[in-house]
Amino acid sequence: MSRSERLLQLLQLLRNHRYPVSGADLASQLNISLRTLYRDIRSLQAQGAQIEGETGLGYVLREGFVLPPLMFTPEEIEALVLGARWVSERTDSELAGSARQALAKISAIVTPALRYRLDESPLLVGPTDSSLLCQQLVLDIRQAIEAEHKLVIHYGDQNGRQTERTIWPFAIGFFDQIRLLVAWCELRKEIRNFRLDRITNLQTTGNKYPRRRQTLLNEWYRQNNISRQ
């Protein structure tokens, strides 16, 4: 592996960790010595990468430094195409448009060979049940999540009984058969899952909920024993 390839791989490893990762772990994954790792980190910092941390505490890459897009591999390009096609078919119109725009931006700067992979990828996304789309509902919920605003919903259980809930939405799960809204429910005083196809009415309140979205999401991860990098 050339030094430039190693530096790019180091950047990618740092991008994969939202929290500080030790130098020993990074050196092990790159199969290099700690001395070489420290030298590489200094080189990246000199080139503008905002890598924070120090020996013994770990390192984290702050937002704002972009990997050169020309370094995408053919497999990475096809993964992006497949993901963008999935988003285009199974989410709201805003996200679908953003997925197409992202591919257009990538197409404008990659090599001709990779552009061919973008345009002619054989990886296809099959049709989905149109009843799962709920495009306007998904858009309204996503906007509420972004703003950390409470929602008032009318929700039907599996027996058809309706209840009115004030909820704090913080995540949406896109599954093959259902779409789930994850939110704190003021009625139940706990985090609950709500099927989008059982929401019969939704009202945006414009009122912020008292806890941060990320705090609620982290709590949900802990409750479900899901680890995060």
Q: 49-87 as b/e, with b when 16 or more CB fall inside 10 Å?
A: bebebeeeebbebeeeeeeeeeebeeeebbebbeebbbb
101 in the same domain as 143: no
Tokens of 26: 């990074």
Q: Are residues 109 and 151 in the same domain?
A: no
- What is the pLDDT tens value at each position of the chain, 229 positions in all? 677 778 888 888 888 787 889 989 999 999 999 999 999 998 888 877 888 886 667 898 887 655 554 567 788 888 999 999 888 888 888 888 888 888 887 887 777 878 888 888 888 787 776 666 677 899 999 999 999 999 999 999 888 899 999 999 999 998 878 899 999 999 999 999 999 999 999 999 999 999 999 999 999 999 888 766 5
Do residues 52 and 86 share a domain?
no
If asked whether residues 7 and 50 sit together in one domain, one would say yes
Rounded to two decimals, what is the model's pTM?
A: 0.64
Same domain, yes or no, for 51 and 73?
no
At residue 62, the pLDDT reads 82
Kindly give the residue spans of alpha helices, DSSP state H, lying in the chain.
3-15, 23-30, 34-46, 74-90, 93-109, 112-119, 135-147, 213-223
- Give CA–CA dist 60/53, Å, rounded: 7
Residue 124 lies in a domain: no
Answer with the one of 37, 61, 85 that is the final residue of a domain: 61
Q: How far is Cα 127 from Cα 138, in angstroms, rounded to an integer?
A: 18
Cα(148)–Cα(208) distance, integer angstroms:
6
State whether 84 and 138 are in the same domain. no
Total structural domains within the chain: 3
Residue 126: inside a domain: no
**What is the CATH number for 180?**
2.30.30
Q: Which of 80, 98, 119 is the last residue of a domain?
A: 119
142 lies in the same domain as 218: yes
Look at residue 53 in the predicted model and tell me its pLDDT: 82
Query: What residues make up the domain containing 179?
Result: 132-223
